[in-house]
Structure 1
Amino acid sequence: MPYDPQLAERMRTALQARAGVVEKKMFGGYCWMLRGNMLCGVEVGRFMFRVGKDQEAEALSRPGASPMDITGRPMKGFVWVDASQAVGEGLESWIDMAARYIDGLEPK
């Protein structure tokens, strides 16, 4: 998955104060893990957030969000978010939504 270095830096900055977050190089890009579970990632022009199935409809109702589909089949519980729709507090709100989901998972 190709990535945008500027978006990766925006994500790093947004996540730097959160405990338990680790950056990991995956699929040719970068993802961030929270307590060992995938939280979010970056691609060219967009972010990826793991929001879980229960929050997926809410997430997809937000501006700039779309289902995550890499192989022709949407990945349930994951969304793409256009980078222009996740700026400042907007980015923080996406991270908060993803973290709420991860908080309900067992650490790996």
Structure 2
Amino acid sequence: MAFNAETADRIRAASALFSEEFLEKKMFGGIAFLHKGKMTIGVVKEDLVVRVVDNKMDSILKKDYVRPMDFTGKPMKEFIFVSAKGFGTEEQLMQWMELGLEHAKTKL
């Protein structure tokens, strides 16, 4: 599996600050963190993968260090990549986790 283990550890530590439970699963050649079976956030290589509710995608994609997730050459619906500079602080990481959790809760 190719993912930044330090980023995964940061997500594990930050998940303790949430009242929701997160489970880990190997996905996309990396690791994903799921809430009640729904993906929230993950790590692939050096990037975060974040699920985003559809009505926020346009504004989120305008942010620095964010790009569509496109394994096949076609962007995946409601998935983004965030490069390392976009989650350098714990506050930034928590914001991405909250966004991913918001998506998961809409799918329950």
Task: Please name the residue that 2:23 is paired with.
Answer: 22
Cα drift, residue 80 of structure 1: 0.3
Greater share of strand residues, 1 or 2? 1
What is the correspondence of 1:1-108 to structure 2 with a 5 Å cutoff? Answer: 2-18=2-18, 19-86=20-87, 87-106=89-108
Q: In terms of mean alpha carbon deviation, does 42-51 or 53-62 score higher? A: 53-62
Following superposition, which runs of at least 4 residues in structure 1 exceed 4 angstroms of deviation? none
TM-score by length of 1: 0.88
Cα drift, residue 66 of structure 1: 0.4
TM-score by length of 2: 0.88
Cα drift, residue 20 of structure 1: 2.2
* Alpha-carbon RMSD: 1.5
CA distance in 2, matches of 1:91, 1:71: 26
What is the aligned length?
A: 106
Q: Could you say if the C-alpha distance between residues 49 and 88 of structure 1 is closer, same or farther in structure 2, counting changes exceeding 3 Å?
A: same
* SS class of match (1:25): strand
Instruction: Give the unaligned 5+ runs of structure 2.
Output: none
* SS class of match (2:92): helix
